[in-house]
Each structure stands twice: as structure tokens, then as C-alpha cells.
Amino acid sequence: QTAEKGGFPHFMLKEIHEQPRALADTLRGRLTESDRVFIPELDGFTKEQLAGFTHIHIVACGTAYHAGMVAKRFFENLLRRPVEVSVASEFRYADPLVSPQTLCFIISQSGETADTLAALREAKRLGATIVSVVNVVGSSIARESHACVYTQAGPEICVASTKAYVTQLMVLYLIGLHLAAVEERLTDEAHADFVRDLVALPDAVESVIGNALLVEDLAAQLADRSVFFYLGRGYDFAVALEAALKLKEISYLHAEAYAAGELKHGPLALIEPGVIVVCLATQPAVFEKMLSNIKEVAARGGTVVGVVYEGEHRLDSSTDHLLRIPQVRPELAPIVSIVPMQLLAYLIAKQRGCEIDMPRNLAKSVTVE
């Protein structure tokens, strides 16, 4: 059993450690020598077809849905087209606004989630073109899509998803760049710059994993707390949702994520000494706004854990703890900033003696509704 886990005590930790390799594998074969993205799986679509979709709709469940939230923001900013993202169980019963002009992305690690598969079939019935982002080769969702771009995460055993999530993000960034190239939305130089930043991500993730001892120290201090909030804006909000999900799934602690600007519309009433508030602050455009949210939390006695880039010191005096990640392009921060969050959830769950790989009541693949 330990051999299967490569010497790690849990599959989750093994899979966290596999992320740099999984990311590198997901890039392989999808970049040209001149630093351009080329996704062979999308080669079957003509330029006119790809540019002709008036709507993009992303559908998924759980962690894959959180990857979809990142992609929504990325696609909209890059392609200047409306992108909707829905949880599959809502989409399938919503009489969705989908037509032959819709490009529908279905994201699923297992490729077998019942709601996601049903959503795919509904979108297909309505005439949408389906491109899926799937990890398990030959799974139902992969087979029923018009095109499938695989994440090269390898088998993921732990119920709580880690390496599948970061590789989903990687594929979605690649798809965004592929579409932007088709539509000639970036100069060659800007495209190549972006590609070089993607290529640097495995090392950035590796360096976060290398600092796990710092996270371990923090986990030891937080393991007896019972209420956790995760706040962020923009891309950081999507990461906050995924970070809170990780903690809930494996530690059975109450964790809730909020768009930081919503703090005053409710959760602020719950902030008091003892409450942990993890604040992600990787987005320069809203950094000052996050800083004022952090001050509001601190003024009410909440314990603030900031997540910032190395070299960022503007939060030093208003936070109780800081977790640092290497500086990356802000759009790409989700791939890196989730890693200390995965480690924090894992190490808190471990301190609390939780089972981790097979949390109570949850399944790796939800194949019944």
C-alpha cells in the first residue's frame, strides 16, 4: 500500500507532489518550437467554425466547476465574448440557452459524472458543439464529445481532486490561447510571452511544494479551529471556492468562500476572534480592495492568513500569517495559489486524524444522480 503511494502516507500528498510533472505532461505536444499553442484535438474545426460561435458555455461539477470559473474569466478577457459557466445539475434542468452557435466545454476528471454526462447530452441535443476536458481516457464524456482535450494528470485516486484540477486549468489556458490565435487576438510576441509563462508553471508549483514545511507549521496552529472563510476577488475568488472545498472534503471543517466584496453583505457578521479568514491577494488590479477587506476582518479579531507573491510586503502588518507563492502572470495565479491551499487542507486534516483519501459520504466519481 505504501509502495502504491510512492512512499507517501496518502494518495493526496502523492498527487500534490505529482503536479509539476502532470502540468509538464499536459503541455507536451501542444506547443510548437516557435512558442505557439497548437492543440491537435481542435484541428478538426475550421477557423470559421471556431470564430463563429456566438456563445461559450462551460459545464461541470465540483472541482471541475471551479476550473470552469477560472476559464470563464480567462476566455472573456481574452476573447471578448460572453462565457457562461454552470454546474451540470442546474444546467440540465434549466432549459438552457444553447443553440448550434454555442461552443460547450464539458470538464470532468472521471468523464463519468452522471449530471455532467446528462448535461453534455442535453447540450448536444440542442445543437451545441461539445469540447470536453477529461482525464480518464475513453470515458463516456470523452467518447460522446465532438472533441476531447485530455488532461495528462494520470490516475487520480484521492477523492479530493488536486492534480486533475491544475491540469484542467492548464488545458483551459491552452484552449483559450488556441482560440485567441485563431481569432488573431494576440500579437505573435504576446502569444509567445504567454506560452513561456505557461512553461514556467511546473517550476513555480514545485517551489511551493518545496516550502511545505511552512504550511505544516501553520496547519499545526490552525487545526483546532472550527470556522474558516476564504476570500478573494476575480481569479482569487474561484481559487477561494476550490480552497474551501478542499478543506471541507477532507477535514470536515466548516469552510466557506466568498467574493471578498460580499464580506459586508453577510459574512462580516460572523467574524470574531477564533475565526480563520484566508485572504488570497494575487490580483494587482484589486489588491488595494483586498487590503481593505483584510483590515475589516482584522479589526473584528479574525485571524488572517494572506496568500501573496514573494516580495509582496504590503500585507505584512495586517495579517497574522502569510503564505507566499512565486510571482506569475496574474491570470495564471490559480494554478500556483491553489497548491498551498491543498497542502493546508491536507495538513490540517492530517493533524485532526482524518482519513483523507476516502472522506466519509463522498465518492471519487458520482455516477448516479
Which residues form the interface with ligand G6P (CB under 6 A)? 61-64, 108-110, 113, 116, 159-161, 362, 364-366
All three cell numbers of 317: 502588518
**Least Å from the CB of residue 42 to ligand G6P:** 21
Contact of 32 with 366, CB cutoff 8 Å = no
Tell me, what amino acid is at 10?
H
Residue 321 belongs to what H/E stretch?
A: strand 321-325
Distance, in Å, from the CA atom of 84 to the CA atom of 176, rounded to the nearest integer, reads: 14
Shortest Cβ 327–ligand G6P spacing (Å): 29
Q: Which residues contact 247 (CB under 8 A, 6 or more apart)?
A: 228, 253, 255, 344, 345, 348, 349
Nearer to ligand G6P, 113 or 145 (CB): 113
**Closest CB to ligand G6P among residues 31, 64:** 64
Those residues whose C-beta lies under 8 Å from the C-beta of residue 278, and which sit 6 or more positions away, are: 228, 229, 230, 231, 240, 243, 305, 307, 341, 344
Residue placing its CB nearer to ligand G6P in the complex, 181 or 238: 238
Reading the block at residue 76, the C-alpha cell is 472573456
Name the residue number minimizing CB distance to ligand G6P.
Answer: 62
To the nearest whole angstrom, how small is the minimum distance from the Cβ of residue 116 to ligand G6P?
5
Burial of 44 (0-12, 13-18, 19+ CB in 10 A): exposed
In which residue are the cell numbers 471551479 written? Answer: 66
Tell which residue, 338, 368, 365, has the closest CA to residue 136: 365
Whether the CB-CB separation of 240 and 278 falls below 8 Å is answered with yes
In whole angstroms, how close is the CB of 130 to ligand G6P at the nearest point?
A: 14
Contact 19, 163 (CB under 8 A): yes
124 is catalytic: no
Nearer to ligand G6P, 268 or 366 (CB): 366
- Shortest reach from residue 30's CB to ligand G6P, in Å: 21
By beta-carbon proximity to ligand G6P, the closer residue of 37 and 257 is 257
Using the minimum distance from each CB to ligand G6P, give the nearer residue, 159 or 345: 159
Catalytic residue among 5, 124, 289, 364: 364
Q: What is the C-alpha to C-alpha distance for residues 23 and 277, in angstroms, rounded to an integer?
A: 29
**Min CB(50)–ligand G6P separation in Å:** 25
- 218 is written with which cell numbers? 501553520
Q: Can you state the angle between helices 163-182 and 19-27, rounded to 10 degrees?
A: 20
Residues acting as catalytic residues: 364
